[in-house]
Amino acid sequence: MSKVVYIIPGFGYSPRHKEYVKLAEAFKENGFKPKVIKINWYRRTMEDYLVQFMEQYKNSPKEEVTLLGFSLGANITLLANEKAKPKNIIFCSLSPYFKEDKAKIKDTKYAWYLKPYIILLEFLVSPAIRTMKHYSFKELSSKINCRVFIFAGKNEMLNLLNRAKEAHKKVPNSKLVLVENTGHDIGNKEYLKALKAIISKL
């Protein structure tokens, strides 16, 4: 049986970004056929993202499916679980905006010079965050029936770290990997190294 992995990037990223090129190469080196999903991110809802994913998802009974998503892409991965029925899921830095979470993007503290960027980001991502609040992580995770790996950098925001730890508690037989010296950056060498260690065992 052949192995295929669907990789969903973080908000604003595409298959062309070097982080995802490297990640796809790591999977390919381990016998996977990688497919990095292209998402039209801006001013879209979570339901829009799911539709875009399913348009690029090609299911075959002869393929063993792994789903990997980073940040908001990890949330899309969770929404896609019931339809894709994967053998493995890799959640990387889940965004902490589920119904159970109190986090709001405007509550995060940023340096003053980043404020204009953050205001623009809020405008572009707000429909997704608003609709993500409609979903319960507990309810969605109860439908998972496969191996699950949950990654987060140890230097990420506290609300994101709490989301990863809470996800680990809610998902039976899941493995939590907290990556040293790493923030919210899947392209970080330590993050990629930790992912490669898991990929080699799939």
Going along the chain from its start, the domains and CATH numbers come out as: 2-199 (3.40.50.1820)
Q: How far is CA 114 from CA 108, 109, 117, 124, 131, in A?
A: 12, 10, 5, 15, 25
- Token readout for 135 is 């979903």
Q: Are 129 and 97 within 8 A, CB to CB?
A: yes
- Would you give per-residue pLDDT tens digits along the chain (202 residues)? 899 999 999 999 999 999 999 999 999 999 999 999 999 999 999 999 999 999 999 988 889 999 999 999 999 999 999 999 999 999 999 999 999 987 655 555 545 444 554 455 566 788 898 899 999 999 999 999 999 999 999 999 899 999 999 999 999 989 999 999 999 999 999 999 999 999 999 9
Q: What is the arrangement of strands in the sheet containing 63-70, beginning at the earlier edge strand?
A: 32-36, 2-8, 63-70, 88-92, 147-153, 175-179
Residue 51 in tokens: 């539709």
CA separation for the pair 30, 3 (Å, rounded): 9
Q: What is the pTM of this model?
A: 0.93
Tens digit of pLDDT for each residue in 145-185?
Answer: 999 999 999 999 899 999 999 999 999 989 999 999 999 99
Outline where DSSP puts E strands in the chain. 2-8, 32-36, 63-70, 88-92, 147-153, 175-179
Pairwise CA distance, residues 192 & 70, whole Å:
12
How, if at all, do strands 63-70 and 2-8 pair?
Answer: parallel
| β-bridge mates for residue 66, sequence order | 5, 88
